[in-house]
Amino acid sequence: MEFGVGKVQIKFLHLLSTEASHSITVHCLSDPPYGTTDSFSPAGPITKQNTQLRFRGWNGRMFEQDTLLEPHVLQDECKIQDGSWHQSRFLFHTQDSRQLPIVDVQELSASQPHSQRHIEVGPVCFL
């Protein structure tokens, strides 16, 4: 899923800024976007790894878990699988303003049969 932004305006902001921040919210119905989920089998509990979200910044660098560009997880309620809507909120902050805004979210597909997700792209702040 890619987002369209004005390239000329963003490049101008990059020239004037020394840091930037951006927020993304993932709304989910019975589906955890980050981390693991537990299930049970006759042999006992099974922990399975979910596909982790990856966020591509303006300059092509990937923000993902367990890297130097790991997003700050402000809220992670999507691991609650109770049939209700929940949300996970991510904040991206960098001192290299050319890395933002986030332009692509990868691995967003729902992993459970009746789960749903949608994404809310927040404002980008250039400082």
In a domain, residue 38? The reply is: no
Q: Would 43 be classed as within a structural domain?
A: no
CATH number, residue 99: 2.60.120.1000
Closest CA to 86 of 30, 24, 23: 30
Domain that holds residue 79: 17-32+49-120
Using CA atoms, how far apart are residues 85 and 36, in angstroms rounded to an integer?
Answer: 18
Residue 6 lies in a domain: no
d(CA 110, CA 107): 9
Q: Considering the domain boundaries, does residue 107 fall inside one?
A: yes
The model's pLDDT over 20-71, given as tens digits with 9 standing for 90+, comes to 999 999 999 975 555 544 444 445 444 444 557 899 999 999 999 988 899 9
Contact between 17 and 52 (Cβ < 8 Å) = no
Is residue 113 one of the residues assigned to a domain?
yes
pLDDT digits (tens, 9 = 90+) for 104-117: 998 876 566 677 88
For the entire predicted model, the pTM comes to 0.76
Q: What total of structural domains would you count in the chain?
A: 1
Is residue 39 assigned to a domain?
no
Kindly state whether residue 3 falls inside one of the protein's structural domains: no
Whether 116 is in a domain gets the answer: yes
